[in-house]
Amino acid sequence: MKSYTYLFIDISTILVPLVFSLHPKLRFDKQWPNFIPSLLIVGAVFLIWDEYFTRIGVWGFNPDYLIGVSVFNLPLEEVLFFVCIPYACVFTYHCFNKLDLNPMPKNSGKWVTIILVLGSAVVLVFNFGKFYTTSTFLLLVLSLIYLQWVRKVNLTSFYLSYLVLLLPFALTNGILTGSFIESEVVWYNDLENIGLRIGTIPVEDIFYGMLLILWNIRLMEYFYQRNQSSNSVAG
């Protein structure tokens, strides 16, 4: 059973969101035509990033917790991670919007973005050259600047939903990095990161996850708006 650990984490992450996607008050299934293209695009980018970092030893996988099937030189479970985790997280974001669960002031997202950009810039100055730290925080800074000030996207709802998601993130990523089990499922080369961990979780993982979910949501919303415009023109 030990070899099914990572696979079990993937399945348990997506199972409940998948079932409740059909709930009449949520109907996330109606967003599938917009979400699936975003999942494929973002997933492809992250899998390339993942495969390269695995190849050069920035991180790797403990075979004791894997079923032994590889796809694109990555464990099957790792490929499924980029399906299951985004699905569960984007579903949560959808629920917050659908049920109007957003107590934050509408423009507060801009201030969060400013803090994240400045904080990430400081991290980059003092840790530039460490592969995981540099790539994660550089991409985050560029993404936030582009979305906030070029595209003028209101990120308030995203920040609130991601804040809530940090709790299940801590559980899932904690297990993957060695909390509650005998050894880690995913190991990290601490020469390529800050070396600061929250429990067993490298701090970079929080912002890597933010990037992953942010771009899945943003592209889903882009496809939704594009399809709405096409339908309006056709009508």
Asked if residue 70 is part of any domain, the answer here is yes
Asked if residue 53 is part of any domain, the answer here is yes
- Reported as a single tens digit per residue, the pLDDT across 83-139 is 999 999 999 999 999 988 777 787 899 999 999 999 999 999 999 999 999 999 999
Asked if residue 24 is part of any domain, the answer here is yes
Expressed as residue numbers, the domain containing 178 is 2-226
> What total number of domains does the chain contain?
1
Return contacts of 163-171, CB within 8 angstroms, 24+ apart.
164/92, 164/96, 165/89, 165/92, 165/213, 166/206, 168/13, 168/88, 169/206, 169/209, 170/198, 170/199, 170/201
Asked if residue 111 is part of any domain, the answer here is yes
Asked if residue 231 is part of any domain, the answer here is no
Least confident of 152-161, 191-200, 204-213, 223-232: 223-232
Q: Which pLDDT score, from 0 to 100, does residue 99 have? A: 87
Q: Which pLDDT score, from 0 to 100, does residue 233 have? A: 65
Q: Which pLDDT score, from 0 to 100, does residue 104 have? A: 74
Asked if residue 234 is part of any domain, the answer here is no
Asked if residue 145 is part of any domain, the answer here is yes
Q: Which pLDDT score, from 0 to 100, does residue 87 have? A: 98
Alpha helices (H) in 99-203, listed in sequence order: 108-127, 131-145, 156-176
Asked if residue 233 is part of any domain, the answer here is no
Q: Which pLDDT score, from 0 to 100, does residue 230 have? A: 74
Q: Which pLDDT score, from 0 to 100, does residue 234 have? A: 62
Quick check: 235 pLDDT over 60? no
Cα separation values, 83 from 71, 185, 221, Å: 14, 18, 18
CA 67 to chain centre: 23
Residue % of the chain over a pLDDT of 90 = 91
